[in-house]
Amino acid sequence: MKRFQTGLAALAASLPIAALAGAASAQEADGKFQVKAFVTTVQPDGAITSVNTDLIGLPAGSQTSANDSYIPTIAAEYFFAPNFSVETICCVTPHEVEGEGALAGAALIDDVIILPATVTAKYHFTNFDRFTPYVGAGATHFFIFNEEVGADAAALGASEADLSDEFGFVLQAGVDIPVNDRGLSVSLDAKRYFVDTTATFRAGSDIALRTEHELDPWVISAGLAYRF
């Protein structure tokens, strides 16, 4: 919840600019395509939900978290009708996995890269004069790669770390606020992903630890859109 509040505060800071931009024009471009360039914060959870294999003896109260990431992202959208569109995004997001609770501060997995391949179907509310809010839902597949064993996990004998690729779903809401009548808008967007992953630590060829985690990131973006 703290990460979500941080993201909302960042978006709130952008609202006065967006409101001024919206006052510039009430006319909306009617092109079939729209592209968006965003600054995005990705705020995953990373908590352990279950332990499947534990040969190292995790202490009671062991927990994990993944750090937030701030990245540029691009979205591409096609409108089938004024109210209906399909959107996909392009980005990769880096993260570290650290210990919490009994493992507080422990470096467990470094340099994790997530590619969240995502497609959403969106409904746009076009009965507003100066802005167009929307809601959406869709599917995602998290490709996770580049995992490196953290220093503290290595000290316990881990030689390899792996986070599984997984499917999930996503909910979305946002608003496009026209700047002019030539397709340019300010765009604010929030997505909530629901995706889990399995973490596996190996010591040589043996599985020393295998745990289930919820990622479930909030992905909050602000930027510009161009419809043509």
**C-beta atoms surrounding 26 within 10 Å:** 12
Entry pTM: 0.85
Quote the pLDDT of residue 156. 86
Question: Which domain does 72 fall in, by range?
Answer: 2-227
CA distance 163 to 51: 14
CB 199 within 8 A of CB 109: yes
Q: What's the CATH number where 46 sits? A: 2.40.160.20
pLDDT score of 2 = 46
CA distance 4 to 47: 16
Token digits for 159?
């030689």
pLDDT in tens, 60-114: 999 999 999 999 999 999 999 999 999 999 999 999 999 999 999 999 999 999 9
Question: What are 118-140's pLDDT values in tens digits?
Answer: 999 999 999 998 999 999 999 99
Q: Domain total for the chain?
A: 1
Query: Angle at CA 97, nearest 5°, toward 91 and 99?
Result: 160
Residue 165 in tokens: 């690729």
